[in-house]
Chain A
Amino acid sequence: MRLGYFACLFAASIAMAQERNFVACPIVRDTKTVPCYLAEYEGKLYFLGIQQDITAAFHPPQLKHQVLVEGQASEGPLVCGGIPLKPLSISVIKDVNPACNTLLPAEPGIDAPPAARGAGPASHPLTLSAAPTESLSGRQDFTILYAFNDDYVEFASIATVQKAAAYATKIRASAVNVMGYRGTTVLSNEERLIEKPELAERRAQAIATLLRGSGVTGVTADWKKEPEPGDGKTDPSRRRVTITVIP
């Protein structure tokens, strides 16, 4: 029992040790194919992702802006010269920072991982349609996640809103409740970043507007004024809006 307790503590400290939550300037590295996006923290270079198209889950950071990185260092070989982070959430810090301007040239031996789309024209069509709702029934929750301090509804989230709207319309929902939240991020240096006070309301109102504009009736919007707590591990999952569709 006691051994198990220590084993749990050990596992927890290992997990904590793998967290890499930091704010830094991103670094763009050119390759023979698409560019890689990286960031440096405490002397180590981390791989964030590669250039893709707007349908991809990873949206790259931006030069002229710092990036908030929330990830876990994973085992395995370097990718594009950096330690891979999985899972990973990145958020572009909105204020302009001209110092973030590092674009590295391609280097022999440093390649980007295979890309679904190269730097030229696409070789296959984009998927733009909302996910099907046939398999859904009863009360359903749909979750929209956000970058830190942001209420921009990204491409993937538009599909989630469309899916929720289609389901609510299909079952003639008696109510559709939208709940907005703002979050807290705990950095690896123990600093705590809290999202803007008005963000939970803005997120909720924006999603409610999208649902109403998609023909959904009975939409109500509410929001939690206080920020969600942070734990340094699962913080990105609490920057959210939930849509609850009630039959």
Chain B
Amino acid sequence: MYRAFLLLAIPLLAGAQYTDTSQSRWVEPAEKDTLPSFDDFDNFLGKLGVIQASGPVDTAGHPFFTPLGTNGRACVTCHQPTYGMSVSAEGLRNRWRTSSGKDPVFAAFDGSNCPNLPQGQEKSHSLLLDRGLFRIPLPWPPRHPDGSPKPVEFSIEVVRDPTGCNLSPVYGLKSAQPTISVYRRPRPAANLKYVLSGAQNIVLKTGTLADRDPETGKPVSMNLMADAREPSLAAQALNAILGHEEAHEAPSRKQLKDIVDYESQIYAAQVEHIFAGPLVDRGGPFGLGPAALRDRHPGVLGDNEYEQVFGNFDSWKGSDFYRASIARGANIFMFRQFWLRDAAHINSIGLGNPIKRTCATCHNAQMTGQDLSAGWVDVGTTNYPTWTEPDTWAETAELPVFKITCRPDADPHPYLGRVIYTTDPGRALISGRCVDVGSIVMQQLRSLAARPPYFVNGSAKNLREVVDFYDRRFEMRLSDSEKEDLVNFLGAL
């Protein structure tokens, strides 16, 4: 329906700067349309498939597609089917061009680097346009649900502020309402039964009680959002409407229920590889395509030989060149051993440092590759010295840098100690704990081809840069062809 023509000339070369070739179908808020049960959308690696398991959806009046706040945005603004229910930086740049920067997605509140910047200028939205990052303003210190401040184990200083927001007397850390602004990618509103599964009363990684769903009183997975700050889809939707949509009053319970019901039945995954062809066929790996996501059960541990994270790719090993490449990539993901070291909430929870393991040790949840346990981990993307950013004072620095100083009586960060420089303290902005500085909840590894750039800070422009980061960070010593196999594998998910 919304298909674009395929540009077969796209090079699938190592390190190539991928270009989004889709004739992007941008669903406008308040648009009247019927979204079908299945749709597919072109992207640089083939086609994404999106299933609405409950059947066709009329967008007219539906609260997911209707602006409920004051800035013209709806949920769909940042969770577009074309982009795997997230949004890509290229899609945002296209939107800037076609709307002359007037689209509600560029709202000053969080669609610009800081609300006090001149909103008509492209550079005021550089983090959104270049990296797909929205501003996430978080109160400091963090608050309990009743509004009382949580105890915190560290002080925080702003040592670099390229956006001007963290030092702003109106929006910053020393404003009347002290706020830390971090900049993060929106996560896909799809395949959510997997994201919400695996809830345990006691969180394995911390030995503390899991957060509770305020509606049901039951423990939650704590795998929702980059910092697990919202316990449920309803809570996330409520705060997104009050925040991202700038609503002055809360949506009705019926509206929240409709949003949650809608999000809970969407499944998105790649269905076609630009060269390997259709990815879903009889006898192939069980985990590919959105129908598999719809049909399989969540909460299954996939870090094992007998029921692997995305299925067994052996039948593709002798297949055509690209299927064989995808299969080799899957094999590296599951079986290639390397030294996993200095990753807080992996090495520090009793496994040892270092451990000799594989990608699937951490990306262990079947079908999504998240962590089945509450999955915040400091893999090193946001904390100095392994961060993805240039030196703190480099002219090219785009993200704020914070200095975290831990109290002497607090447990320090397990590998960085008591003074940490970070572009995003991650979970620590919610927990107030030093051990959590830089820890980010793992994302699902689905629909990746539809939604570059990657990592919480949008620092990897393409999948090759993701693989390069891990290769560098954990000294995996991957060859160029192995990296390309991993790129093809990740792009097939």
Residues of chain A having any CB pair with chain B under 8 Å: 28, 30, 34-35, 37, 51, 53-54, 59-65, 94-96, 103, 119-126, 152-155, 157-158, 161-162, 196, 198, 206, 209-210, 213-214
Contacts and interface: CB of A to CB of B under 8 A. Distances in A.
Interface in B331-379: 334-335, 337, 339, 341-342, 347-358, 360
B358 A120 contact: yes
A64 B342 contact: yes
A126 B301 contact: yes
Nearest to B202: A158
Contacts of B416: 96
Given A35-B354, A162-B201, 4 more contacts: A34-B356, A54-B349, A96-B413, A162-B202
A181 to B, nearest CB: 17
B306 interface: yes
Contact of B339 (A95, A103, A198, A209): A103
A84 to B, nearest CB: 18
A94 to B, nearest CB: 5
B412 interface: yes
26 contacts: A34-B356, A35-B355, A51-B351, A51-B356, A54-B349, A54-B350, A62-B414, A63-B341, A63-B354, A96-B415, A103-B354, A119-B337, A119-B357, A119-B358, A120-B334, A121-B305, A121-B334, A121-B358, A121-B360, A122-B304, A124-B304, A152-B206, A152-B207, A153-B208, A155-B350, A196-B409
B457 interface: no
Interface string B317-338: 0000000000000000011010
B interface majority secondary structure: loop
Contacts of B337: 119-120
Contacts of A37: 352
Contacts of B207: 152-154, 157-158, 206, 210
A21 to B, nearest CB: 21
B356 A62 contact: no
Nearest to B355: A51
Contacts of B206: 152
Contacts of A157: 207
Contacts of B201: 162, 213-214
Interface of B: 201-202, 204, 206-209, 301, 303-306, 308, 334-335, 337, 339, 341-342, 347-358, 360, 409, 411-417
Nearest to A31: B356
A35 B354 CA distance: 9
Contact of B350 (A96, A125, A154): A154
Given A64-B342, A96-B415, A119 B356 contact: yes
Nearest to B353: A62
Given A120-B335, A121-B305, A210 B351 contact: no
A209 to B, nearest CB: 6
B350 A28 contact: no
B263 to A, nearest CB: 28
Contact of A59 (B209, B334, B352, B414): B352
Taking each of A103, A122, A214, which has the highest tally of chain B beta carbons within 10 Å of its own beta carbon?
A122
A90 B304 CA distance: 28
A4 to B, nearest CB: 44
Contacts of B409: 196, 198
A51 B352 contact: yes
A96 B204 contact: no
A120 B305 contact: yes
Contacts of A206: 207-208
B413 to A, nearest CB: 8
Given A64-B342, A95-B412, A122 B352 contact: no
A60 B358 contact: no
A121 B305 CA distance: 6
Contact of A155 (B204, B306, B356, B360): B204
